[in-house]
């Protein structure tokens, strides 16, 4: 790979140990994937924040880099293992909380904006079309590439942090237009109508075509919440980091020859497959993190009611602050439901605490089952709220 | 005999090869406390990679696996060196942050389990018996 004089100096250690380590990572990845050069990035989102996933080793690595590392571009974090302020109410072990705070402190010391969310695009970390960025979380990567038209590979925690500390990434994969063209046309049987149906469609397409880039036809319209849900689902079940949706997404693409059809039955089967719970004792909305519109909707349905089950609304802290200003937050907490800022069911240590979860998120089903060993009910947001209040 | 590949992370090592025909997921697949492979049905299940030169086609699974390698190194149970057929992000980043000598683009079928081998990662060279 060709490096500029400054980049060579960074690699030699003239800009400090954290920059040197970061450049070693970026240049090694560049060599492995055949990049010709490094390119500047305008935004970074780092995964590997939950202490549950990092462990002491991850924490130690971050503390080491924090000795002299500082971010060179705006950088936010993926969800942590707990609400950083309200962790006690959510039943988090104090020992875990202590370690989780050390993780956040290490990132803070490196000048990372320690807002923890899988929806950075809702809280100001929102790249423009064509921007090169380094993001990690799979639904956010898919949203950035497909819906925003920015360009990112799916980074691991250390490589995204390396981009943050150098302002660079290696130019390969989705940074190059030739790797962003559709590989298969996917015909959809009917346009999905809500967040849950978009999740089910993402599941069906992901399972069918895997990592290939689809050009999806047959979706008439999609709002932000629906696209967010679709990105999470297709990335979880297919590993997809980029899709094109006719008339919806902004990227240009060549049209591939191969075509597959998704049948109504496949979408129905996806919904059936994601439902195996008899007993629900936990309800969670906000995977990916809820928008202010979703919070408003939940507040509207919970007005004057009491929840009978543990109910979490997962979201980025700035969105909760907006909900407080609008009065939605009070309505929700008055019902007994809880906000889980900075975290979600995919990264919080929840195993053994609940038997069955109801969620409108297809991705939530995956993590509810795999990591937490819950049974799952996959349903609309309205049905989730009914489940919580015992109607 | 010398096999020629490509440096991922520099360093030298000499020791016993432990060879897997299948990919390895470090996160969830290897116990960072003792270096034992714990993935069900894996060819190396129950064996320890600690202190050996670990030879396998490529990494797989969660990107958190890079931190697992780092944890193994800190616990003193990391492999002495890593040899891949085709290195990918998880193992490459894991080797770099843990400072474990690592080479790839090696014809790993030529290496037998239990062979005494030498790795010169800077020059991408692996010396095998014969």
Q: Does A103 touch chain B (CB under 8 A)?
A: no
Between CA A337 and CA A294 the distance in angstroms is 14
Between CA B110 and CA B87 the distance in angstroms is 17
Taking domain A5-177, whether its CATH number is 3.30.499.10 is answered by yes
Question: Do residues B93 and B66 make contact, with C-beta atoms less than 8 angstroms apart?
Answer: yes
Residue A357 has φ and ψ, to the nearest 5°, of -115, 140
Question: Do residues A348 and A312 make contact, with C-beta atoms less than 8 angstroms apart?
Answer: no
Question: Do residues B17 and B52 make contact, with C-beta atoms less than 8 angstroms apart?
Answer: yes
Nearest to A355 by CA among A376, A379, A380, A386: A376
Between CA B114 and CA B6 the distance in angstroms is 23
Domains contained in chain B, number = 1
Residue A255 DSSP symbol: P
pTM: 0.92
Residue B92 has φ and ψ, to the nearest 5°, of -60, -50
What's the sign of the alpha-carbon dihedral B83, B85, B87, B88? Answer: negative
Contact A55 B71 (CB under 8 A): yes
Q: Hey, what are B85's tokens?
A: 């057929």
Reported ipTM: the value is: 0.80
Helix (H) or strand (E) holding B125: strand B125-127
Between CA B56 and CA B58 the distance in angstroms is 6
Q: Which residues contact B36 (CB under 8 A, 6 or more apart)?
A: B30, B46, B47, B48, B49
Q: Does B59 touch chain A (CB under 8 A)?
A: no
Q: Tell me the residue length of chain B.
A: 130
Residue spans per domain, chain A: 5-177, 181-273, 282-389
Say which CATH architecture domain A282-389 belongs to. 2-Layer Sandwich (3.30)
Closest residue in A to B10 (Cα–Cα): A24
Question: Do residues A2 and A168 make contact, with C-beta atoms less than 8 angstroms apart?
Answer: no
DSSP A123-167: TT--PPTT-B-EE-SHHHHHHIIIII--B--B--HHHHHHHHHHS
Closest residue in A to B96 (Cα–Cα): A25
| pLDDT, one tens digit for every residue, chain A (391 residues) | 999 999 999 999 999 999 999 999 999 999 989 999 999 999 999 999 999 888 888 999 999 999 999 999 999 999 999 999 999 998 999 999 999 999 999 999 999 999 999 999 999 999 999 999 999 999 999 999 999 999 999 999 999 999 999 999 999 999 999 999 999 999 999 999 999 999 999 999 999 998 899 999 999 999 999 999 999 999 999 989 999 999 999 999 999 999 999 999 999 999 999 999 999 999 999 999 999 999 999 999 999 999 999 999 999 999 999 999 999 999 999 999 999 999 998 888 888 899 999 999 999 999 898 778 899 999 999 999 999 999 8
Q: Which residues of B touch A21 (CB under 8 A)?
A: 96-97
Q: What is the CATH number of the domain that holds B39?
A: 3.50.30.10
Q: Hey, what are B127's tokens?
A: 């010396």
Residue A152 has φ and ψ, to the nearest 5°, of -150, 145
Closest chain A C-alpha to B37 CA, distance in angstroms: 18
Q: Which of A24, A32, A158 sits opposite B66 (nearest CB)?
A: A158
Between CA A26 and CA A169 the distance in angstroms is 6
Between CA A370 and CA A359 the distance in angstroms is 15
Q: Does B122 touch chain A (CB under 8 A)?
A: no
- CA A120 to the chain's CA centroid: 9
Closest chain B C-alpha to A257 CA, distance in angstroms: 30
Q: Which of B27, B67, B92 sits opposite A61 (nearest CB)?
A: B67
**CA distances (Å), origin A16, targets A1, A61, A63, A67:** 21, 15, 15, 10
Strand pairing of B116-120 and B125-127? antiparallel
Between CA A144 and CA A122 the distance in angstroms is 12
Q: Which domain holds residue B32?
A: 2-127
Q: Does A21 touch chain B (CB under 8 A)?
A: yes
Q: Which residues of A touch B74 (CB under 8 A)?
A: 56-57, 60
Fold equal for A5-177 and A282-389: yes
Q: How many CB atoms lie within 10 A of CB A187?
A: 13
* Disruptive mutation site among A29, A135, A152, A156 for chain B (greatest number of B CBs within 10 Å): A156
């Amino acid at each position: 790979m060709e490096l500029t004089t400054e980049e060579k100096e960074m690699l030699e250690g003239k800009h400090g140990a954290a920059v040197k380590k970061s450049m070693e990572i970026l240049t090694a990845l560049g060599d492995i994937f055949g990049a010709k050069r490094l390119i500047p990035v305008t935004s970074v989102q780092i995964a590997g924040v939950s202490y549950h996933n990092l462990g002491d080793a991850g924490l130690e690595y971050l503390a080491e880099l924090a000795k002299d590392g500082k971010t060179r571009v705006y950088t936010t974090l993926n969800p942590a293992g707990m609400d950083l302020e309200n962790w006690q109410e959510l039943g988090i072990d104090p020992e875990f909380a202590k370690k989780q705070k050390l993780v956040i402190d290490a990132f803070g010391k490196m000048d990372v904006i320690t807002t923890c969310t899988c929806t950075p695009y809702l809280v100001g970390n929102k790249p423009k079309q064509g921007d090169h960025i380094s993001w990690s979380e799979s639904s956010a990567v898919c949203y950035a590439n497909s819906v925003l038209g920015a360009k990112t590979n799916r980074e691991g925690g250390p490589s995204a942090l390396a981009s943050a500390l150098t302002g660079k990434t290696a130019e390969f994969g989705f940074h190059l237009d030739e790797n962003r063209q559709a590989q298969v046309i996917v015909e959809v049987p009917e346009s999905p109508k809500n967040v849950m149906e978009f999740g089910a469609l993402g599941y069906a397409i992901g399972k069918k075509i895997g990592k290939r880039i689809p050009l999806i036809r047959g979706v008439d319209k999609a709002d932000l919440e629906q696209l967010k849900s679709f990105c999470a689902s297709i990335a979880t079940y297919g590993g997809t980091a980029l899709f094109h949706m006719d008339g919806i997404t902004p990227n240009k693409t060549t049209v591939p020859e191969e075509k597959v059809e998704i049948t109504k039955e496949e979408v129905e089967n996806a919904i059936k497959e994601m439902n195996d719970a008899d007993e629900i004792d936990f309800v969670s909305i906000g995977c990916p993190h809820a928008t202010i519109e979703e919070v408003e909707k939940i507040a509207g349905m919970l007005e004057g009611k009491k929840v009978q089950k543990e109910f979490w609304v997962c979201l980025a802290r700035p969105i909760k602050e907006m909900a407080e200003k609008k009065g939605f937050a009070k309505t929700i907490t008055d019902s007994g439901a809880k906000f889980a800022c900075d975290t979600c069911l995919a990264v919080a240590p929840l195993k053994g605490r609940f038997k069955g979860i109801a969620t409108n998120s297809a991705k939530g089903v995956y993590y509810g089952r795999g990591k937490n060993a819950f049974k799952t009910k996959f349903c609309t947001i309205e049905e989730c709220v009914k489940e919580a209040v015992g109607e | 005999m010398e096999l020629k590949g490509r440096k991922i992370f520099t360093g030298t090592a000499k020791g016993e090869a432990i060879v897997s025909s299948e990919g390895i997921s470090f996160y969830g697949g290897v116990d960072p406390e003792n270096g034992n492979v714990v993935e069900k049905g894996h060819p190396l299940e129950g064996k320890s990679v600690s202190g050996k030169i670990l030879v396998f086609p490529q990494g797989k699974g969660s990107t958190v696996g890079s931190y697992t390698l780092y944890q193994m190194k800190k616990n003193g149970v990391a492999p002495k060196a890593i040899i891949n057929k085709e290195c990918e992000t998880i193992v490459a980043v894991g080797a770099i942050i843990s400072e474990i000598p690592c080479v790839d683009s090696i014809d790993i079928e030529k290496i037998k389990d239990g062979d005494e081998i030498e790795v010169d990662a800077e020059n991408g060279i692996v010396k095998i018996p014969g």
